[in-house]
Structure 1
């Protein structure tokens, strides 16, 4: 007798990270989207989920007094799975769930790797006001599973109009091609001037070598986009600069030190 495939578990939002001592009123929500795989129906990776927790805790601390809620999204499975775009669909579901839980509050989608692609694809959701894509996996990137389409369709960008968009990519990323994220940012900038991209020189896919700077950049962008805080000068300059200057902005060593305190 043929075995029946088990149904996928439902996507989950879970409890907000670092809610102890936080105000009850929520004024903005960050949805962190973990990395995934091009094709897989396996359960989501616990490691990829755990990789987002340090950033989630930092964001929760930085936005606690402003009513910022931070959630790490639990996918149904770990694969994008071609036209199904399941990770993007789960990101859109999570944005709907934010509206159900918290009402009409702005949302930032922030993802890493395949989660970065999901953030970009789902960025047109009505609740989303900003998108952060870190080392985003895009069609044509190097993976352990060859892309069957030699000329993949580029990611859409027109739906990002009206959002603040930040891409961050390590120049030594061997898994997701940094040049592809530059090309996407270049296309997005033509329809959405509020697009910028930072390059993390000598860093790889995980952005571990300069994690402190990447975390500070992400925190500054999210607080500015969701909560109305001023952007750091490099972020403001990158958003205002014409291409390619604002799309190849180097992330300086020590970024964020002057913002503390």
Structure 2
């Protein structure tokens, strides 16, 4: 596919694809309100999500497939919702390879908006929305059985942590199991306390997707 300037623009997936995982984590980067410029793998919003994928991989080993999505374009682009189209394409590819496995969706900023849209998709067990872009008219597909992690830096001036907190209340009212995690002293880029973000997301995803080993109680 080419943009109006004749440049090749594609969506793409990269990650670890073990033969027999127990679940799949799809990591989705951010962007902006508008923009049809191509989004290469080395662009800042894309690179920002690589440590999250690595943290999940380290925590889960080969028990999870961990896949990063690269969108075609930088922007949300109004009613076209181009990153949402790209994420649905990614889900189709994942389901064709790993049919029936539970899914966790992890997204930052615009990617956080994407994962809240897709929370009602078949197989989605958990979403982690990090400093998400929240709009009042967007869907709120909370339901029993859905695990939600909402993290937001309290110094964020790009997206609003107050809206994220309200989103959590709305999803919880619809039956979702919501964890609201404000991050003191953090802005939008998630860099000041990067290790905290990476660790908590990895813990959340592995807990949501992987069954815990049974504990055998010793008799007296």
Which range, TM-score by smaller chain? 0.7 to 0.9
Question: 2:46 pairs with 39, 42, 49, which one?
Answer: 49
Paired position in structure 2 for 1:237:
none
> Contact between 1:203 and 1:209, CA under 8 Å: does it hold in 2?
yes
Structure 1 counterpart of 2:142 = 160
TM-score, normalised by the number of residues in structure 1: 0.74
> Which one of 61, 65, 70 corresponds to residue 69 of structure 1?
65
CA distance in 2, matches of 1:96, 1:168: 27
Find the counterpart in structure 2 of residue 87 from structure 1: 83
Structure 2 CA distance for aligned equivalents of residues 128 and 154 of structure 1: 22
Q: Between Structure 1 and Structure 2, which shows a larger proportion of strand residues? A: 2
Which fold has the larger relative contact order, with Cα–Cα distance below 8 Å and residues 6 or more apart in sequence?
A: 2
Q: State how far apart, in whole Å, the 1-side matches of 2:132 and 2:176 are.
A: 20
Give, in whole Å, the separation in 1 of the partners of 2:150 and 2:4: 41
Q: Residue 12 of structure 1 corresponds to which residue in structure 2?
A: 12
- Which runs of 5 or more residues in structure 2 are unaligned? 214-220
Alignment of 1:130 onto 2:113? no
How far is 1:192 from its partner?
2.1
Provide the residue aligned with 1:31 in structure 2: 26
Report the CA distance between 1:160 and its aligned residue. Answer: 3.0
Deviation of 1:90 after TM superposition, in Å, equals 1.5
**How many Å apart are 1:212 and its aligned residue?**
1.3
Quick one: distance in 1 between partners of 2:89 and 2:147? 21
Structure 1 unaligned residues grouped into runs of 5+: 140-152, 231-261
Distance across 2 between alignment mates of 1:87 and 1:24: 28
Looking at secondary structure, tell me which structure has more helix per residue: 1
Answering whether residue 164 of structure 2 is matched by residue 169 of structure 1, we say: no
Does the residue aligned with 1:39 lie in a helix, a strand or coil? coil
Alignment size in residue pairs? 208
* Higher alpha-carbon deviation: 25-34 or 56-65: 56-65
Tell me the secondary structure at the aligned position of residue 119 of structure 2: helix
Measure the CA separation in 1 of the matches of 2:61 and 2:199.
Answer: 16
